[in-house]
């Protein structure tokens, strides 16, 4: 039975990954410092509370388990916060990843799957964004993820560590069984915020900018279902286990939705009107971010199962209703 170390497995994407792998018969060991993750989100496999900065604890972990691969979801993820606190972002996202990679190397584990981001591209020069698009990140968050992508190239050349970097566009949705979902604190993402308004958990939604160069003036994003992201990680794992080479893939549905369209979809799914305030732009938001995921389809065989925005929002809504005890 293959065994996978999931770093950051108590977080939004990591916890879905643990479930996905366990349901397919793989063994998982989750490590998470619980700075933003939730212990109760890890419903399968072994859990160890551990901070990646703790090199000795990592060394002991690698000494006591034989891992076939490592999936790394543990990172700080807020673009705005990264501008205020770059030290935190470079420490968590770069230095701690380096510690993880070096302990893998010392233990002879040489397959690595990395959570990267559309934020590595910066302001799009063209759309949709394929893997040839220049990577010029605008924030310490985006730069920290790009640095790891570059470190991985060097580590492969020097140490033979093979990796797949998966650049998520807008991760969204929830476990179709509504057992897991998005639980950020504070929540900054559009869909859960809109759902909180729908559930009377928040008074209103602020739309950040209505003067973008898009058909309705609001930003366009490519929302991709969390389970489809898990599927891509599973395929990336197969690729590395099959002995194939490293890869870099953009993950999105290739279809963009504006903030107004997302609000319309949430209103439809929840069956109520949202209270919306139209405000200024948020710093650092590109007008349009849409993925060209052709390479993921060709190289990994990735076919998203839940590409429909209504379904993404429905799953997120079902989880929120259950988790926050909202009336059905």
Q: Could you list the residues that contact ligand UFG (CB under 6 A)?
A: 77, 79, 117-119, 141, 170, 188-190, 193, 205-208, 219, 221, 259, 282, 285, 289
CB closer to ligand UFG out of 113 and 219 = 219
Q: How far is the CB of 279 from ligand UFG (least distance, A)?
A: 8
Bond prior to 128 in cis (omega within 30° of 0)? yes
Task: Indicate which residues carry an active-site annotation.
Answer: 141
Label the pairing between strands 247-251 and 69-72. unpaired
CB closer to ligand UFG out of 72 and 221 = 221
Q: How far is the CB of 189 from ligand UFG (least distance, A)?
A: 4
Pairwise CA distance, residues 265 & 316, whole Å: 12
Length in residues, the chain? 328
Give the distance from CA 109 to its chain's centroid: 23
Transcribe 223-278 into DSSP letters: EEEHHHHHHHHHHHHHHHHTT---EEEEES-S--EEHHHHHHHHHHHHTSPPPEEE
CB closer to ligand UFG out of 119 and 318 = 119
Q: How far is the CB of 194 from ligand UFG (least distance, A)?
A: 8
CB closer to ligand UFG out of 5 and 289 = 289
Give the distance from CA 263 to its chain's centroid: 22
Pairwise CA distance, residues 173 & 182, whole Å: 8
CB closer to ligand UFG out of 70 and 226 = 226
Q: How far is the CB of 96 from ligand UFG (least distance, A)?
A: 17
Helix locations, the chain, DSSP H = 12-23, 55-64, 79-84, 86-89, 96-107, 140-159, 190-198, 226-241, 259-270, 294-300, 309-323
Q: How far is the CB of 193 from ligand UFG (least distance, A)?
A: 5
Q: Which residue is nearest to ligand UFG (CB)?
A: 219
């Amino acid at each position: 039975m293959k065994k996978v170390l999931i770093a950051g497995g108590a977080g939004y994407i990591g916890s879905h990954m643990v479930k996905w792998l366990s349901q397919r018969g793989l063994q998982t060991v989750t490590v998470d410092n619980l700075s933003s993750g939730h212990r109760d989100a890890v419903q399968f496999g072994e859990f160890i509370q551990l901070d990646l900065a703790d090199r000795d604890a990592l060394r002991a972990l690698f000494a006591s388990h034989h891992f076939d691969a490592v999936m790394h979801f543990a990172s700080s993820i807020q673009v705005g916060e990264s501008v205020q606190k770059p030290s935190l972002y470079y420490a968590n996202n770069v230095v701690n990843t380096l510690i993880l990679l070096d302990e893998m190397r010392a233990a002879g584990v040489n397959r690595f799957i990395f959570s990267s981001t559309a934020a590595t591209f910066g302001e799009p020069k063209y759309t949709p964004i394929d893997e040839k698009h220049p990577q010029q990140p605008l924030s310490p968050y985006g730069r920290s993820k790009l640095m790891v992508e570059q470190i991985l190239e060097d580590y492969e050349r020097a140490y033979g560590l093979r990796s797949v970097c998966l650049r998520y566009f807008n991760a969204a949705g929830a476990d179709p069984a509504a057992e897991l979902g998005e639980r950020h604190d504070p929540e900054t993402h559009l869909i859960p915020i809109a759902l909180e308004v729908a559930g009377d958990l928040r008074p209103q939604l602020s739309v950040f900018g209505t003067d973008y160069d898009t058909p309705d003036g609001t930003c366009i994003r490519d929302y991709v279902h969390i389970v489809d992201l898990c599927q891509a990680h599973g395929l990336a794992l197969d690729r590395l286990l099959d002995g194939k080479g490293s890869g870099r893939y953009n993950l999105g549905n290739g279809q963009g939705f504006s903030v107004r369209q997302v609000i319309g979809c949430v209103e439809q799914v929840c069956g109520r009107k949202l209270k919306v305030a139209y405000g200024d732009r948020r710093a650092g938001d590109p007008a349009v971010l849409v993925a060209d995921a052709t390479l993921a389809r060709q190289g990994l065989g990735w076919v998203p199962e839940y590409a429909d925005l209504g379904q993404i929002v429905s799953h997120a809504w079902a989880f929120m209703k259950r988790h926050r005890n909202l009336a059905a």
